[in-house]
Structures are given as C-alpha cells and as structure tokens.
Structure 1
Amino acid sequence: MGVKVLLDLLGGVALLLWGLHMVHSGIVRAFGSRIRRFLSLILQNRYRAFAAGVGVTAILQSSTATALMLSSFTASGLVGLVPALAVLLGANVGTTLIVQLLSFDSSAFAPVLLIFGVAAFKRGTRTIVKDVGRVAVGLGLMLLSLHLLLDSLAPAEHAPVARQLFAAVTGEPVLALLIGTVMAWAAHSSVATILLTMSLGAANFLTPVAVLALVLGANLGSALNPLMETGSLNPAHRRLPVGNLINRIVGCILFLPLLDPTARLIQSIDPNPVRLAADFHALFNIVMALLFILPLARFARLLERMLPDVKSSSDLSVPLYLGESVNDTPSVALACAARETLRMGDIVDSMLEQAMTAIVTNDRKLVTEVSQKDNAVDGLHEAVKLYVINVTHGPLDEAEARRALEVLSLAINLEHIGDIIDKNLMELASKKIKRQLHFSAEGARELQEFHRVVRDNLRLAMTIFLSGDVKSARHLLQEKARIREMEFAAAENHIARLKEGRIDSMETSTLHIDILRDLKRIHSHICSAAYAALETAGELNRPRRQPTPGWANPQQPFTVHEGEAVLKGKTRA
C-alpha cells in the first residue's frame, strides 16, 4: 500500500512539473519576443517595472524565467539594475497569483482545458494557435495532477507510518526550509513545490508550521537557479540574481522565528487548510516587496560595490580594442574599431568552420558552441556600431568618414553572416542530427568544397578591408560568378543522384539544397567588402540610394552607400 501511494505521489509530481513546462514553453513560443520587447520598453521607473514583473510572471508562470530574461538584459546594459530588481520583486508577487488561482478547487476545468488544448494543437493551422493549445494542455495537466495528488494522499492520511515519517522529516522548521529549498532548486519552480506542499498540508501530513517553512524554502530555492545559470565570468552580470537571493534570505531570516504566530493568524482569517500555503506565499512576497521597493537605489549601489564590473579576456563578447580615451582622435579610434571588426571576422570564420563540421559529422556539441559564438558576434556588432557612431559625432574628413562607413558596413554584414550560420545552418544541422541522416559521399564532398570556397573568400574579404587592395577586390567580385556555377553544378549532380534512386540523397535532398542556398547568401554578404575598395579607386560608379535595406534586412548585404546618410553633415573639407 505504501509503495503504491509513493508511486502515485511521484507520478502526480512529475505530471505537475510537465504541465508547468508545457505552459511555460507554449507562452514563450507564442509571445516570447513580444514579452521581451515589452520588458525592454516599460522599464522606465521602479513602480512600472514592478507591475510589469507581476504581469509577465503571471503569464510565464515562472519567476525563474523572468529572472533569466532580465539577467540577459542587465548584462547587455539594456536595462538598469534598479528597474530590473523591481521587476524581480514583481515577479515574486506574480507567482503568488498563479498559486492563488490553483489553490481553489478547479479540477472540473481540467477536462475542458485538455480537450480544447488537444484540438487546438492538432487542428490549428497557425503556429500561435498550436502554442495556445499547448498552454491549455499544460494547465489541464496541472489541475489534473493536483486532483491526483489529493486523491493519492487520501488513503494514506490515517496511516501512522506515513504520518510519523513526514513528522520526522519536517519536525524542525529549519530542516523543512532546507528541504523546500532543495525541492524548488531541483524542480526549477517554486510554484510546483508550493502546490505539492499545499497538497501535503491539505492531507494533514504536515503541520501548519512545516507548511510555512517549506514555502519559505521554495522561495529561497527558486532564487538559486538564475544565479547558477548565469554563465558569465563577469561578477557584474550576477548582480541581479544575487540581489534577488539576498531578498529571499532576508525574508527567511525575518519570517522563520514568526512561523507559528503567522500560521495561527492566517488560519484565523482563512481556515481552509488547502489555502494555507498559498496565503502565506502571497503574504511573504508582498511584505518583501514593500520592504525592498523604496531602498532599491541604495541596494543597487551596494550590489555594484560587492560585484564590480570585471572584463574577462576569455569572454568573446567583450570588446578588446574599443578604448574610450582615443575618441578625440578619429583616425586612431577608427583603427581600433577596425581591429575589433577584424576580431569579429575571426569569430565568424571559426563559426563557419564549426558549422560545416557539425553538419557533416552530426556533432550536437558544436551546434551549441556556434550558437554561443553568435551571441558574442551580436554583442561585438552592437559595441562596434555604437562606438563608430560616437566617433562620428565629431568632425571627420572625407577619408575618415569613408573609413567609418567601411567599418560599419563590414560589422553589419558579419553580424548577418553570424545570424545565417546560427539561425539557418545550425537549424538544418539540428534537423539532420535529430533524424540521424547522412549525406552521400559525393554530396558531402560537394558541400565541403562549396564551403571551402566561401570560407577562403571570407578571409580574402578581411584582407581587402585591411589593405584596400583593388586587385583582390576585383577577384572577390569575380568569385560571385564562380559560386553561381558551383551551386548550379552541385544542384545538377544532386538531381542526378536522385534520379538514380540513392536513398541517402533522397533523405537529405531538402537539407542539401538549403545548405547550398545559405552558403550562397553568406557569400553575397562577404562580397560586399569589395565595393569599398573599388569605389575608393574610382572603379565603382553606381547611383547612390537611400539607406534602408541593409540596416534591417539580413537577406541583403549592407553596402557603403547605404550608410552614407549616417555621416551626412559630419564631414569637413
């Protein structure tokens, strides 16, 4: 009997965690970009930020997800520390709304949500409909799991062994707090831990004090995950999760001696044992938000002193050559920006090399490494762009203005190449790995040869950017015709293998063509480096156009012409 109850309990917990995961993943897929954009715009003061944190976390159903999202914003400098801390205070309150909603008996809604969710996921023609269906299924599973937990615990309610076991484990509030911390950390969710605690308390396996201690632990444990998942070596990037952890620790210290009178107070207001954990969770987070919301500025300064900004040379996203002290000398500043852009080129070259290796060998680890390097390229591109624009605030002569545009053009094109590698080639690699597909020997050789030419021309483009050699620039543009011929020949050979009925070619047909297409797109961005050298030499006479396509459209290379409006009026004779 005891083994069956234990298995039912573990199964209910697993179902609860899976339902929570489905809700979170469905919301992120459907509205993730909008939520990130909303957060980046709304964080003007601490009170708006607090309200945003409440709303976003109520939607995401995870304060950990909100904390990780905010950590990336603060690390990149998009959001100040004070509003970010305010968002986390709101996020902690936002989790209480979820728990309050699920603390009421809503099991009758589980079948309705499951039916609607499955129908939307299976029959929906739009992606957002499928994602909303995923959310509905997740909510249905969460409600069903709570019903199963209560039903599975009911037969054991009068079992003395079970009651003695839970009493021994949770007899001391400090021990119960530590257990709740470990549970929330392992589950990556304070909500799941509190809902489980709610079920155990309703079945009278836990005393009211033990219920409150487990809730304290759940709040503390949920603050550990964002801190542990902050991969940056820079201490400044850990300010936000450390601040949230300090808030949780202070709350545990304040409430731990007051658990018994707090439990009696809550029970006198709301005697329902099912809602004891939910009510205390709300009380705890509201009190901690009120205590910290006003002194947030001082608290942020304390965190800045505790965790200073330390640049690490091993972090690829940290600029190495963009010194602020040289901005008064535009020629020197632009030389520094050029060096940083060449460093971007080296990272993109290594991404291109690893991408083909990952595609051919089905190496999943390389796919992850390439994605991480693309994040570094994005960071460097932003740093170079802002640095060059800052340099152009002063007067520039014609040569300096032209060099500024060349640096901007190459940095933008390199960032677009990185995006194609990460968002397109690595997605194709992931599909190939997932399906365990393999190219034919001839097809693999054709792709590798095509890739070799593209990579050689990337190095040639870096040389042209550095030296301005006109002969090399002419050669790079001539390579466009060679790439077209190679693409046509590879496609013809692939079709011939399909006609022969080659199984490996049939299985990888779409992948093969898509990889050729993406490599050709990368090459078009590479060739844009030749235009600057040819124009300086007077060999390129094209009509000037307004700067729109290259700035925002990654499908089209950015040329020097498109950036000239940036510096209009900032040149001197």
Structure 2
Amino acid sequence: MKHLLNLLAAIALLVWGTYLVRTGVLRVFGSNLRQILSISTSNRFSAFLSGWGVTALVQSSTATALIISAFVGRNLISLSAALAVMLGADAGSATMAVVFSLDLSWLSPLCIFAGVTLFLARQGTQVGDVGRVLIGLGLMLLALQLIAQATHVLTGNPAVQLMLESLSSDLMLEILVGATLAIVSYSSLAVVLLTATLALNVVGIEVAMGLVLGANLGSGILAVITTAGASRHTRQVPLGNLLFKLLGVLIAPMLMHLWLATARRWVQDPAALTVLFHLSFNLMVGLIFIGLTGPIARVVEMILPASRQSPLHRPNHLDPSALATPSLAISCAAREALHQADVVETMLRGVITVIRNNDQQLSQELRKLDDTVDDLYSAIKYYLTKLSRE
C-alpha cells in the first residue's frame, strides 16, 4: 500500500510540475505566443511549425488548443489553419516527451533551487514566473525519478502482474486506460512519460504503445470537454483535432508491428521506444492530414455549424478557457464590451423610431434591451473578477 501511495504521489507531482510549467510560460510569453500563432497561419506549413514551437514551450497541446480555439471564435484565423496549428501542437508535445525521457536527473535540484530563489525574490513579476517554470521543470524531473523507484517495487506484486496481464491481451482496453489517464491528469505528456517509465520493467512495449495511443486520443477528448461550454466557433478546433487523433488511432495498429520491428534495429531501451513511438505517431498524423485540413474543416463545420449571427441578449465572447491566459481573457472582455456597445447603439436607433412613430411594441423591446445591457455589464465584471483570481 505504501509503494502504491508513493507511485500516486509521484504521478500527482508530475502533473503538478506540468501545470506549473504551462501556467508559467503562458504568464511570461502569453501575448507573444498569441502573436506568433496569429501571424504564422498564412499557410498550413507555417501554421504547423508555429504550433510545434509554441507547444514545445507550453508543454500542453490542450493549452494550445484553447488559445487557437479562441482565435477561431473571434474570426482571427480560419478553421483549416487552426487545425494545421493543432497538428503541429501534437508534434511539439511529443517532442518534449522525448526530451524529458533523457537522463536529466542532475537538472532537477538545480532547477528547483534556482526556481524557488527567483520565485520568492521576485514574486508577481516576469522573473518570478520564470522561477515558476523552473520549479515545474525540476518537479517533473524529480517525479520521473520517484515513479521509476515506485514502479520497480510494485513489479513483484502478484496483483499488479495479474492486472498487467489483462492489459497485454487487449489493445482496446489499453487505449481506453490511456485515454482515461490523460483526461483525469489533464496532461497527455504526463501520461506518456509515466508509460515510458512503466515500460522499463512493468509493462511490455506493446502495452506501452497502446497506452500511448490512448493518451493521444484522451488529450483530444479533453480539449473537447474543456471547450464544451464555449461558442460553436471555439468548439470546432478541438473537434477537428479529435477527428485527426481518432483517424490516427484507427490507422496506427496496422503499422505498429512494422514500426516496432524497424525501430528495434537502432533502439533497444523500452522507455526510448515508447516516447519515439509517441513522436512517430504524431508526425505520421501530421504528414498524412496536413494536406487534408480543408476537407476536415468542412466536415467539422457540417457536424458543428456555427451560427451566422450571435444572439444579442447573452454574452458571446467571454470564453472561460481563456482565463488561464490573462492577455487573451482581457481581449475577450474587450470584445464583449464592444458587443454591449452594439446593443446600446441598437437601443439609441430604436428610440428615434419610437419618438417619431409612437411605436409602443418597439418601446417594450427597447426596455428589454436595457435589461440586456445590464446583464452584459454584470457578466463582464464577473468574468474580470474570475480573471483576477487566476
């Protein structure tokens, strides 16, 4: 029981470290990352590369999905370009998994020491946020060491061996477990790194590859769940990315054994094979579907058509998923304020008609719009209040 708790604590520490890195990078580079994403979508290949680079920094394709979804919701970029960004984002997340799989244990104490020093000395500044990133990196590296130690002890437990035997006989179960872990932990990167550690002495490489496929699928489902309450424009990007991942998961099993036989000629370490399979899978999906972002975008628009006109009586731009990036959230609030101004303009134009024609019905409608203005004002204030709590 003690060793199981140690493993769970190490996994939690890994997830927390990933969260610290993601939030720290967004706080330091949030506006710059948004600018890179917005200006690098002139063609699908530059969009792919920008998604790759941004996600390598943020270490979360889900975070990139939320940012790029907000851009689509604000009509700043097209849906097909956003889907190309997401293909690159998945490759960027896989690249960081390869980096973290290397033996960087010596960096852990250095990152934690430097990070805590910067964070305590310069709290509330960008330097302090850089310290936050370093703390997160150090905790991730430390967590990987703790996971390796805990799994080594658990390997000899008969109950654990029985559970792992059930996994090794069912690819669908492996995918389901991997997807569930990715959703629960809010990080496919953490799940892939955990799987790579388990592949050393707990599970076979085939099981690890199945878990990796599930983690990729789970990250797509997670983005869809996270944006479930947003506008239809915003929800289109995660849905399109999920379709890419789903198609990739359907194709991958046919190529897994061929890939494994080829990769084993040069790489024998199971952990390295696991993260390389993760990278290969996302590169394969990117290469196959980079030319199909347009058709997939049209399919998504058929499944989830966006309304041509936003309802006048409710907030349209206060995206909850943008709260993690203050600069993006402020932009959402500003756009909602413009929406409120449009309602006021509609009222003023209507007043002239009421005065000229004594239109009682229009007068009643304008009174309702006055309530709408008050509701929008309250919604904007509440949204900004939530931003201050982040």
TM-score range, shorter chain: 0.7 to 0.9
Q: Name the amino acid aligned to 1:285.
A: N
> Residues 156 and 421 (structure 1 numbering): CA distance in 2 closer, same or farther, change over 3 Å?
closer
Which of the residues 221, 224, 230 maps onto 1:224? 221
User: What is the Cα deviation at residue 318 of structure 1?
Assistant: 5.0
Structure 2: gaps of 5 or more residues = 319-328, 346-373
2:356: which partner in 1? none
Q: Name the amino acid aligned to 2:87.
A: L
Q: Give the alignment of 1:314-353 within 5 angstroms.
A: 316-317=314-315
1:303 aligns with 2:260: no
2:368: which partner in 1? none
Distance 2:387 2:232 in 1: 32
Q: Name the amino acid aligned to 1:277.
A: T
2:196: which partner in 1? 198
> Residues 379 and 117 (structure 1 numbering): CA distance in 2 closer, same or farther, change over 3 Å?
same
1:282: which partner in 2? 279
2:126: which partner in 1? 128
Which of the residues 260, 263, 267 maps onto 1:266? 263
Distance 2:313 2:383 in 1: 22
Distance 2:16 2:142 in 1: 12
**How many residue pairs align between the two structures?**
348
Structure 1 contact 8–152 (Cα < 8 Å) conserved = yes
Q: Give the alignment of 1:493-572 within 5 angstroms.
A: none
Structure 1 contact 30–132 (Cα < 8 Å) conserved = yes
Distance 2:296 2:303 in 1: 10
User: What is the Cα deviation at residue 105 of structure 1?
Assistant: 1.0
1:26: which partner in 2? 24
Structure 1 contact 317–377 (Cα < 8 Å) conserved = no
Structure 2 contact 55–61 (Cα < 8 Å) conserved = yes
2:209: which partner in 1? 212
> Residues 113 and 315 (structure 1 numbering): CA distance in 2 closer, same or farther, change over 3 Å?
farther
Structure 1 contact 374–419 (Cα < 8 Å) conserved = no
1:186 aligns with 2:143: no
Structure 1 contact 180–218 (Cα < 8 Å) conserved = yes
Identity %, equivalent residues: 34
Tell me whether 121-130 or 283-292 shows the greater mean CA deviation: 121-130
> Residues 424 and 173 (structure 1 numbering): CA distance in 2 closer, same or farther, change over 3 Å?
closer
Which structure: larger Rg?
1
1:79: which partner in 2? 77
Relative contact order, higher structure (CA 8 A, sep 6+): 2
Structure 1: gaps of 5 or more residues = 320-346, 348-371, 389-413, 432-573
Structure 1 contact 212–263 (Cα < 8 Å) conserved = no
Q: Give the alignment of 1:243-254 within 5 angstroms.
A: 243-254=240-251
Distance 1:300 1:170 in 2: 36
1:237: which partner in 2? 234
> Residues 236 and 131 (structure 1 numbering): CA distance in 2 closer, same or farther, change over 3 Å?
closer
User: What is the Cα deviation at residue 38 of structure 1?
Assistant: 2.2
1:99 aligns with 2:97: yes
Distance 2:387 2:45 in 1: 40
User: What is the Cα deviation at residue 188 of structure 1?
Assistant: 1.3
> Residues 272 and 79 (structure 1 numbering): CA distance in 2 closer, same or farther, change over 3 Å?
same
Q: Name the amino acid aligned to 2:136.
A: G
Q: Name the amino acid aligned to 1:46.
A: R
3-state secondary structure, aligned to 1:295: helix
Encode CA deviations 1:222-275: one digit per residue, 9 max, x unaligned.
001221122456544322111101101111111123333333332222111121
Distance 1:182 1:419 in 2: 34
Which of the residues 248, 252, 256 maps onto 1:255? 252
Distance 1:379 1:164 in 2: 55
Encode CA deviations 1:45-96: one digit per residue, 9 max, x unaligned.
1111111000000000000000011111101111111111110000000011
Which of the residues 46, 49, 59 maps onto 2:47? 49
TM-score, structure 2 length as denominator? Answer: 0.81
Structure 1 contact 316–373 (Cα < 8 Å) conserved = no
CA root-mean-square deviation = 3.0
Distance 1:118 1:33 in 2: 25
Structure 1 contact 181–220 (Cα < 8 Å) conserved = yes
